[in-house]
Amino acid sequence: MANVKTHVEESDILIIGGGMAGTGATFESRHWGRDLKIVCVEKANIDRSGAVAQGLYAINCYMGMQWDENQPEDHVRYARNDLMGMVREDLGYDMARHVDSTVHMFDEWGLPMMKNEKTGRYLREGKWQIMIHGESYKPIVAEAAKKSANKIYNRIMITHLLMDDEKENRIGGAVGFNMRTGDYHVFKAKAVIVAAGGASHIFKPRAVGEGMGRTWYAPWSNGSAYALPIAVGAKMTQMENRIVLCRFKDGYGPVGAYFLHLKTYTQNANGENYEKKWYDQTKSLVGEYIDHHPTPTCLRNHAFIQEVQAGGGPIHMVTKEAFQDPHLETVGWENFLGMTVGQAVVWASQNIDPKYTNPELTTSEPYVMGSHATCSGAWVSGPEDLSPPEYFWGYNRMLTVDGLFGAGDTVGGSAHKFSSGSFTEGRLAAKAAVKYIEDKKADGIKVSEKQYKDLKEVIYKPLENYTVGRNEITGGTVSPSYISPIQGLQRLQRIMDEYVGGIATNYMTNENMLNRGLELLKWLEEDLENVGAEDYHQLMRAWELKHRTITSQCVTEHTKFREETRWPGYYYRGDHLKLDDDNWHCLTVSRRDPKTKKFTMEKFPVYHIVDEKKEKKAS
Ligand code: SFD
Ligand code: AMP
C-alpha cells in the first residue's frame, strides 16, 4: 500500500457520522468549545446523509412543555411502557427535558413546521409527534454543522478507532479512507463522538434481487456505530432488542401518520379486527403488559404475525374512509412524497389508490437501532443529577472507553428519541466531551505511527486480496481465493435470518439455533480475512460487511443470553416463550475482549426513576 497517500489531522473533538446525532454534536461542540478544533467525518455527503437523507414528514419526539402538553416524566413512562419495562430512564429523561429546545432551533433555522390554525401550536400528529414539511430537514441541520465545524470531511468511511498508547482504555482518534480518492486518513483526537447510525441489512430483507436496497431503515446504515466501539472493548446493552416494523407492503412506507393523524386502522382479509382475537393468547405470554396503554409496539406486531400465521392475511390498512376527506387524502400522499417516495411509486405501479383500495401491510425484517421503538446500543454514562451509581461514571453519554462518546442510534437504553431526540443526544454528548477536555482528562494522549500504519495494512487488505485472487478466477466472479462483499453480505443475512430470528422462521429462534448461528458467524468472520475489493467503492462495501458482522455477533450473543421472550413481535425464544420478570427484569450488557474476541455477558438492574403512581396522562 506504499502508493496510498496518508493524511494526518489533529483535532480536539472528532465526530464520526454527520447524521442527526452527528450534526447535533458538531453544532453543540462549537457552542461550548469556542476555541476547540472540531472535525466531523461523514461516509456520504452530510447534506443528504443518514436516515433522514430523503426527508421526514414528522418530528416524532416533541414534548410541548411550553403548553404543558407533556412533561419529560410522561415520555419516560411512554418509552418504558413501549419497551416492556426495559429502558434507561435517566437517559430518556435527560433527552426529553432538552428535546423541545432542539425543535425550536429547527423552527428558527427555517424548517417548515405545520401549525394548528386554531391554537397556533405545532400541529400534532399524535401525542408525541408533530408534523413538518420535512424534505429539507437534512440540509438544514447539515448547514448548522457546517457552520460550526473547523472541517467536515465527506466520503470518508471510518473503519477503526485509535487508542491511546500511554493510558489503557483511553481513546486517541480514528482512521478511515476516502472512497473516491482512496487516500488514508488518520484523525487524532482528544475526544471522539460516535454517531454513525443504526444497522439495516444484517437480517435478510424481504426485498431481494433487484429490490434489495429497499428496506425501511436506510440501506447504508451498516452498524459502524456498534462495530467501532465493540472492537475496542466498549460495553453494549440490549443488543437483542432488534426492531421489526409494521409497514406498507413493498415500499416500507411508515404507518405513524396514518394511524395517528389519519386515524386509519387495520383489519384482516375478512374485514375483522384481528388484534382483539389474540388478546388471551398474548396475555398468557406477557401477562398484564398487554393491558398497558398504548399497546406496546412489539405486541401490536405480535397480533399481526399470529394472524398471518393463522391464515388471516393479507392484513390491510383501512384507508378508504379517511381518504374521502380531501385534506386527509393530501396528507396521506404528501407523507410519502416527503419521506418515502418509493411507497407512492409502488402504489402507482400497482394501481393502488388508497381512496378506493385498502393497501396491504407487512412486518419488516429486523433492524438494530437505538432511536426508534427499540433501544440497542452502547452502554453509556448518564447525567450526574439523575443517574444511580451503576449508570454514572463521570461524563454524560461517555461509553466505557474514556473519551469515547455516543449519541442517537449509537446509544442503547434510550428509546423513542427519533430524529429530534438523536440530535439532542448529540448535543448532550458534545457538551460532556468539551468538559472532558477542559477537565484535562485527555492530556498526554499518544498515538504511535506504528498503530496507524498497522491499521493501514489491515484496511487496504481487501484490495490486495482481489489483486492476487483475480488471477485465479474460474468463471464470472468465482475465485477460489476470495469472496466478494456481496457474497459475504448474502451469507451474513441468511445466517441472521435463519438462526437469529428473521423472517424465514417468523422471528423464531432458540438456544440451539443461536449456537449454530454463532458458529457460522465465526466462520464468516474468518473468511472475511479473504474478502476482495476491486475498487474503493467495494472497499467500503467490504468494511460495511465487516462492521455488520461484528454487530451481528453481538446481537446473537445478547439474544442467547436473555432466556425469555421479552418482546414477542420483535423475536421469539422458542425455548423460553414467556416473559419472565422474576429473572429478566434487567438490562443485558456485553463486552467483547479485543484480544480474544470473546464476549462476556452480565445483567444490570433497571432502575425505575420515574414514579408509576403519579401517572397523570395515560398517553
Ligand atoms: O416515521 C458514517 N426516523 C424518524 N424520525 C422522526 O423524528 N420522524 C419520522 O417520521 C421518522 N421516520 C423515519 C425515520 C427514519 C427513516 C429511514 C424513515 C422514516 C424512512 C428515524 C430517524 O431518522 C433516526 O432516529 C435518526 O436519523 C437517527 O440519527 P443518527 O444520527 O443516530 O443516525 P443517522 O441520521 O442515520 O446518521 C448516521 C450517519 O453516520 C454516517 N456513517 N460516517 C463515517 N464513517 C462511518 N463508518 C459511518 N457509518 C455511518 C452515515 O452516513 C450517516 O450520515 S418514521 O418511520 O419513524
Ligand atoms: P412509524 O411511522 O410506524 O415509524 O411511527 C411513527 C410514530 O408513531 C412512532 O412514535 C410510533 O411509536 C408511533 N405509532 C405508530 N403506530 C402507532 C399506533 N398504532 N399506535 C400508537 N403509536 C403509533
Average pLDDT, integer, range 253-278 = 96
Backbone angles phi, psi at 599, to 5 degrees: -95, 140
Q: Which three cell numbers stand for residue 131?
A: 408534523
422 alpha carbon to ligand 1 midpoint, in Å? 9
Instruction: Answer whether residue 616 shows pLDDT above 70.
Output: no
Average pLDDT, integer, range 453-467 = 97
- In angstroms, the CA 565 to CA 394 distance is 34
**177 bridge partner residues:** 157, 184
Report whether residue 377 contacts ligand 1, using a CB cutoff of 6 Å: no
Instruction: Answer whether residue 160 shows pLDDT above 80.
Output: yes
605 alpha carbon to ligand 2 midpoint, in Å? 28
Peptide bond preceding 254 in cis form (omega within 30 of 0): no
Task: Convert the pLDDT of each residue in 291-305 to its tens digit.
Answer: 999 999 999 999 999
* SS3 label, residue 352: coil
- In angstroms, the CA 191 to CA 404 distance is 6
Average pLDDT, integer, range 234-255 = 97
Average pLDDT, integer, range 506-518 = 98
Nearest CA residue ID for atom 10, ligand 2? 60
Q: Which atom of ligand 2 is nearest to the CA of 82?
A: 12
Cα angle 100-104-108, degrees, rounded to a multiple of 5: 170
102 alpha carbon to ligand 2 midpoint, in Å? 21
Report whether residue 294 contacts ligand 2, using a CB cutoff of 6 Å: yes
Helix (H) / strand (E) element for 40: namely strand 38-41
- In angstroms, the CA 377 to CA 414 distance is 9
Q: Which three cell numbers stand for residue 457?
A: 495494512
Report whether residue 49 contacts ligand 1, using a CB cutoff of 6 Å: yes
pLDDT given at position 210: 79
Q: Which atom of ligand 2 is nearest to the CA of 297?
A: 12
Amino acid, res. 70 = N
Average pLDDT, integer, range 133-159 = 97
- In angstroms, the CA 199 to CA 223 distance is 4
Report whether residue 259 contacts ligand 2, using a CB cutoff of 6 Å: yes
Report whether 398 contacts 31 (CB < 8 A).
no
pLDDT given at position 301: 98
Average pLDDT, integer, range 315-338 = 95
Mean pLDDT of the chain, nearest integer:
96
Instruction: Answer whether residue 474 shows pLDDT above 90.
Output: no
Instruction: Answer whether residue 612 shows pLDDT above 80.
Output: no
DSSP string covering 171-221: EEEEEEEETTT--EEEEEEEEEEE----B-SSSPPSS-GGGTT--SS-TT-
Report whether 174 contacts 154 (CB < 8 A).
no
Nearest CA residue ID for atom 55, ligand 1? 254
Q: How many CB atoms lie within 10 A of CB 24?
A: 32
Cα angle 60-66-67, degrees, rounded to a multiple of 5: 85
Average pLDDT, integer, range 227-255 = 97
pLDDT given at position 2: 64
- In angstroms, the CA 249 to CA 216 distance is 10
pLDDT band at 613 (very low <50, low <70, confident <90, very high): low
DSSP string covering 373-409: S---EE-----TTT--GGG-SSSTTB-SSBTEEE-GG
297 alpha carbon to ligand 2 midpoint, in Å? 8
pLDDT given at position 294: 96
Instruction: Answer whether residue 619 shows pLDDT above 70.
Output: no
Of residues 211 and 21, more confidently modeled: 21
* SS3 label, residue 252: coil
Q: Which atom of ligand 1 is nearest to the CA of 18?
A: 54
pLDDT given at position 477: 80
Task: Convert the pLDDT of each residue in 389-414 to its tens digit.
Answer: 999 999 999 999 999 999 999 999 99
Average pLDDT, integer, range 91-109 = 98
Nearest CA residue ID for atom 12, ligand 1? 56
Lowest average pLDDT, out of 86-100, 273-287, 361-375, 465-479, goes to: 465-479
Average pLDDT, integer, range 463-477 = 90
Average pLDDT, integer, range 239-260 = 96
149 alpha carbon to ligand 1 midpoint, in Å? 20
Average pLDDT, integer, range 472-477 = 83
Q: Which atom of ligand 2 is nearest to the CA of 416?
A: 10
**pTM (two decimals):** 0.98
Q: Which atom of ligand 2 is nearest to the CA of 256?
A: 2
What is the DSSP pairing of strand 572-573 with strand 508-509? parallel
pLDDT given at position 1: 67
- In angstroms, the CA 123 to CA 117 distance is 8
256 alpha carbon to ligand 2 midpoint, in Å? 4
Average pLDDT, integer, range 336-343 = 90
606 alpha carbon to ligand 1 midpoint, in Å? 27
pLDDT given at position 136: 94
The candidate with the shortest Cα–Cα distance to 16, out of 55, 35, 44, is 44
Lowest average pLDDT, out of 400-414, 427-441, 463-477, goes to: 463-477
